[in-house]
C-alpha cells in the first residue's frame, strides 16, 4: 500500500508557489475575462499581483471600463487554475470589517445617538425593497423597541436607476441644511416612489424645500458640490466599497449584516440578540 502524506504535499506546493507569477496570472485572468465576455481588459489593465497570507493564493487587482475606470480585486490560485471573486479571512471577527470601514457620526440618524442598538442601512430611493425596509420595517422596529434602537441612513444609489442619484443629492443637501428634515423627505420619497420619475423629481423636491423653509439658493449650491470626494455621499460609497456592498438595502445591526433585510422577524430577532448581549432586555 502506498502511503499518502498530505502535509508533505502541501509543503511541496507551498515551496513551488512561494511567489506569485505576475505574467502567468495576468495572462490567465485577461484571457478568462475576455473569452467569457465578462470584461474587455488587456495586460496593461492589471494593476497589481501580490502574495496573500496563503502561499497557494494570490491577490490580483485589475481595472476595467471605457469612459470611467473601476478597480476590481480577485483572489486567484497561484497556478492560475481557479479564481475567487471574494475571500473571507476566517481569523478575524466578522464585525471587525464593519468597525474599520463605517463611521456612524455625521449621517442621518432616526433615534438617539446613545441607543444601544444601531441599525445602519445602505439604501437607494428608487429601490422597492428599500421602501419596504425604510417605511415598514423601520416603523415596526421603532414601535417594538422604542429608544433602544436608532437607524442610520447611508446613500448607495444603484447606477441603473435614473432618478435615485439625483434624489440622493437633494436629500443629502437637505440633511446638510436642516438635519431634522431628512427623515421627512426620506418618507415622502418612499411613499411616492411609484409615481416619481426623473421628469417630475425636481419639481417635487423644490416644492418640498419651499414648504419646509429650506433655502433654495443654498440647496442649489450644495447640489453642485455634494459629490466631491469629501462629501457624505462619496464617503458612504467608500464605506460601502470597503464592506463589499453590492445591493440595496444592505443592513447592519450593531455591525452584524442581515441576510434578509426586508424580513421583519429577522431584523427583530437580531435586535433582541443585541439587547441580550448588552443585558438590556426588559
- Give CA–CA dist 273/258, Å, rounded: 13
Residue 158 in grid coordinates:
444603484
Strands 57-64 and 46-51: antiparallel
Per-residue model confidence (pLDDT) at position 47: 92
Q: Phi and psi at residue 129, in whole multiples of 5°?
A: -70, -30
Per-residue model confidence (pLDDT) at position 281: 58
Per-residue model confidence (pLDDT) at position 167: 97
pTM for the predicted model, two decimal places: 0.70
Q: Chain-centre distance of CA 281, in angstroms? A: 30
Q: Phi and psi at residue 242, in whole multiples of 5°?
A: -65, -30
Per-residue model confidence (pLDDT) at position 98: 76
Pair 75, 91: CB distance under 8 Å: no
Nearest Cα residue to 159 out of 219, 238, 71, 248: 248
Nearest Cα residue to 62 out of 79, 77, 75, 45: 45
- Give CA–CA dist 234/241, Å, rounded: 10
For residue 123, what are the β-bridge partners?
155
Query: Along the 282 residues of the chain, how does pLDDT read in single tens digits?
Result: 444 454 444 444 444 445 699 999 999 999 888 887 677 788 999 999 999 888 889 999 898 776 567 788 889 999 999 988 776 667 666 666 677 678 889 999 999 999 999 999 999 999 999 999 999 999 999 999 999 999 999 999 998 999 999 999 999 999 999 999 999 999 999 999 999 999 999 999 999 999 999 999 999 999 988 877 678 999 999 899 888 888 999 999 999 999 999 999 999 999 999 999 887 655
Element housing 277 (H / E): helix 264-277
Per-residue model confidence (pLDDT) at position 72: 83
Nearest Cα residue to 129 out of 151, 109, 149, 158: 158
Per-residue model confidence (pLDDT) at position 67: 59
- Give CA–CA dist 189/172, Å, rounded: 13
Pair 209, 172: CB distance under 8 Å: no
Going by C-beta distance under 8 Å and a sequence separation of 6 or more, which residues neighbour residue 253? Answer: 117, 118, 119, 267, 270, 271, 274
Per-residue model confidence (pLDDT) at position 35: 82
Q: Which CATH architecture has domain 96-277?
A: 3-Layer(aba) Sandwich (3.40)
Amino acid at each position: 500500500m502506498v502511503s499518502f502524506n498530505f502535509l508533505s504535499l502541501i509543503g511541496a506546493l507551498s515551496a513551488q508557489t512561494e511567489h506569485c507569477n505576475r505574467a502567468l496570472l495576468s495572462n490567465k485572468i485577461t484571457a478568462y475575462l475576455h473569452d467569457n465576455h465578462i470584461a474587455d481588459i488587456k495586460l496593461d489593465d492589471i494593476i497589481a499581483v501580490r502574495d496573500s497570507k496563503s502561499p497557494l493564493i494570490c491577490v490580483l487587482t485589475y481595472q476595467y471600463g471605457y469612459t470611467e475606470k473601476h478597480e476590481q480585486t480577485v483572489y486567484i490560485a497561484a497556478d492560475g487554475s481557479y479564481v475567487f471573486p471574494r475571500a473571507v479571512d476566517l481569523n478575524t471577527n466578522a464585525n471587525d470589517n464593519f468597525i474599520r470601514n463605517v463611521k456612524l457620526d455625521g449621517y442621518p440618524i432616526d433615534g438617539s445617538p446613545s441607543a444601544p442598538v444601531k441599525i445602519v442601512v445602505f439604501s437607494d430611493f428608487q429601490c422597492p425593497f428599500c421602501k419596504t425596509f425604510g417605511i415598514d420595517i423601520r416603523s415596526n422596529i421603532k414601535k417594538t423597541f422604542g429608544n433602544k434602537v436608532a437607524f442610520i441612513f447611508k446613500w448607495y444609489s444603484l447606477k441603473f436607476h435614473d432618478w435615485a442619484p439625483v434624489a440622493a443629492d437633494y436629500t443629502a443637501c437637505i440633511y446638510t441644511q436642516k438635519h431634522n428634515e431628512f427623515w421627512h423627505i426620506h418618507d415622502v420619497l418612499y411613499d411616492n416612489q411609484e409615481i416619481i420619475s426623473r421628469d417630475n423629481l425636481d419639481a417635487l423636491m423644490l416644492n418640498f424645500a419651499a414648504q419646509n423653509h429650506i433655502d433654495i439658493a443654498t440647496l442649489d449650491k450644495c447640489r453642485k458640490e455634494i459629490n466631491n470626494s469629501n462629501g457624505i455621499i462619496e464617503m458612504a460609497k467608500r464605506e460601502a466599497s470597503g464592506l463589499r456592498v453590492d445591493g440595496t438595502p444592505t443592513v447592519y445591526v450593531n455591525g452584524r449584516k442581515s441576510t434578509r433585510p426586508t424580513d421583519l422577524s429577522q431584523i427583530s430577532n437580531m435586535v433582541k440578540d443585541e439587547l441580550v448581549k448588552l443585558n438590556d432586555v426588559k
